[in-house]
Chain A
Amino acid sequence: MIDSQIKSKLKMFASFSLLLGAASLSSCSGGANQESETRKMNSADIKVVSEMKAELTSPPFVPKSTANREATKLIVDMEILEQTGEMADGVEYVYWTFGGTVPGSFIRTKVGDEVEFTLKNHPDNKLPHNIDLHAVNGPGGGAASSFVAPGHEITFSFKTLNPGLYVYHCATAPVGMHIANGMYGLILVEPEGGLPPVDKEYYIMQGDFYTKGNFGDQGVQPFDMQKAIDEDADYVVFNGKVGALTGDNALTAKVGETVRLFVGNGGPNLVSSFHVIGEIFDRVHVEGGDLVNTNVQTTLIPAGGAAIVEFKVDVPGELVIVDHSIFRAFNKGALGMLSVSGDENKKIFAGTIQEGIYLPEGGTIQSMPVEAKVDQPIVELSKSEKMANGKKLYGSTCFACHQANGEGIANAFPPLAKADYLNADVSRAIEIVLRGKTGEITVNSKKYNSVMTAQNLTDKEVAAVMTYVYNSWGNNGTEVTEEMVKKVRNK
Chain B
Amino acid sequence: MFSKIVSIVSIVFFSLTSYGQSEGMALIKGGTYIPLYGTDSMPVKVDNFHIDKYPVTNAEYVKFLEENPKWKKSNVIALYADGNYLRHFTNDSKLKEGELLNAPMTNVSWFAAKKYCECLGKRLPTLDEWEYVGMADEKRADARSKDDYNKFILSWYEKPNSHNQEIGSTFKNYYGVYDMHGLVWEWTQDFNSVLISGESRKDVDGSSNLFCGGAAVGSSDLMNYAAFMRYAFRGSIKANYSIRTLGFRCAKSIK
Contacts and interface: CB of A to CB of B under 8 A. Distances in A.
Contacts of B205: 3
A143 B200 CA distance: 9
Nearest to B220: A229
A217 B162 CA distance: 24
Interface residues on A, range: 35 or more
A404 B228 CA distance: 43
Contacts of B236: 128, 147-149, 172
B232 A172 contact: yes
Interface string A443-454: 000000000000
Contacts of B233: 127-128, 149
B241 A149 contact: yes
A47 interface: no
B160 A152 contact: no
Given A124-B244, A151-B244, A172-B200, A222 B160 contact: no
Contact of A151 (B154, B198, B242): B242
A150 interface: yes
Interface in B204-229: 205-207, 219-220, 222, 225, 228-229
Interface string B239-250: 001111100000
A225 B152 CA distance: 12
Contacts of A8: none
B244 A173 contact: no
A144 B206 contact: no
B200 A151 contact: no
B243 A151 contact: yes
Interface in B172-206: 185, 196-203, 205-206
A362 interface: no
A96 to B, nearest CB: 8
A123 B245 CA distance: 8
A143 B199 contact: yes
B225 A223 contact: no
A174 interface: yes
A82 interface: yes
Contacts of B237: 128, 149
A144 B243 contact: no
Contact of B198 (A130, A177, A181): A130
B202 A140 contact: yes
A152 B202 CA distance: 23
Contacts of A150: 243-245
Contacts of B243: 123, 149-151
Top 9 nearest A-B pairs by Cβ distance?
Answer: A147-B198, A128-B236, A82-B160, A173-B200, A144-B199, A140-B199, A149-B236, A173-B232, A173-B228
Interface of B: 84, 87, 151, 154-155, 157-162, 185, 196-203, 205-207, 219-220, 222, 225, 228-229, 231-233, 235-238, 241-245
Given A126-B185, A222-B158, 18 more contacts: A127-B158, A127-B233, A128-B232, A139-B199, A140-B198, A140-B201, A143-B198, A143-B201, A144-B197, A148-B236, A149-B233, A151-B87, A171-B201, A181-B158, A222-B155, A223-B154, A223-B155, A225-B222
